[in-house]
Amino acid sequence: MPTGVIINSLSILLGGLAGGLFGHTLSEQVKQQLNLIFGLCAMGMGIAAIGLMTYLPAVIFSLIVGTLVGLGLHFGDWVNQAASHLAKRFPVPNTGPSQEDFLSSLLTVIVLFCASGTGIYGSLDAGMTGDATILISKSILDFFTAAIFACNLGYVVSAIALPQFIIFSALFYLAGFIVPLTSPEMIADFKACGGFIMLATGFRMLQLKMFPTADMIPAMVLVMPLSWLWANIILPLL
């Protein structure tokens, strides 16, 4: 049973509901300051994951090629369209951001909750070992992050719990097939690749630089094969 996945999805659902319900009681200054803290936490989690990296060239190459694939397939546009559909069902609060800022923030939250390296690896690890510690730890941050974003975006943040549950559950049940094909080095590079995306997401949350985080997601698919290729084919030739 994907206990960790359920807890993580519930944390987003409940956090979004709490933020949508009680967000009006918080001042704008409090919301902004807390958002800065969560952006900092996202960047810190990203940096910690990057520190686990084994083969730097494989991770960098996967990020570059993966982003090119994402841009070429307009992957970010697909996510934007999904965000737009959600926006139509959950209108922007009267006191909330403009439609453009709303979609930008919503895209950031979708990537943060559904495509973080921590969440993806945590789902695989839980499926393989039964240990949900990583996902439960992530749930604490996700609850408060969802609540703060919901203060401005409304109840739409809670709706992200559904696609996240579907994605993480699929990974949980596929773990038995995926993890035996990997090595510790491949897992470390996978975490590092997710760490770069988390770091980019933190920059978006802090509104310092709007990285194309959605278009970077295909790198998560490429990084483990490229890590294996680097370790077993390229390195022996050097």
pLDDT of 91:
58
Residue pair 180/126 in contact by the 8 Å Cβ criterion? no
| Residues 6 or more apart whose Cβ sits within 8 Å of residue 170 | none
Cα–Cα distance measured from residue 51 to residue 95, given in angstroms and rounded to the nearest whole number: 40
Counting beta carbons within 10 angstroms of the beta carbon of residue 132, is it exposed (0 to 12), middle (13 to 18) or buried (19 or more)?
Answer: buried
Q: Are 35 and 205 in contact (CB under 8 A)?
A: yes
Which residues fall within 8 angstroms of residue 36, CB to CB, at 6 or more apart?
206
pLDDT of residue 100: 67
Angle at 76 between CA 124 and CA 19, to 5 degrees: 70
* Whether 7 contacts 136, CB under 8 Å: yes
**Domain coverage including residue 159:** 3-237
Tokens of 22: 């009680």
Mean pLDDT for back-to-back runs of 10 residues, the chain (238 residues): 92 93 79 80 86 94 96 85 72 59 78 79 82 86 87 87 92 86 90 88 85 89 94 90
Q: What pTM value is reported for the model?
A: 0.81
Number of domains comprising the chain: 1
Contact 37, 185 (CB under 8 A): no
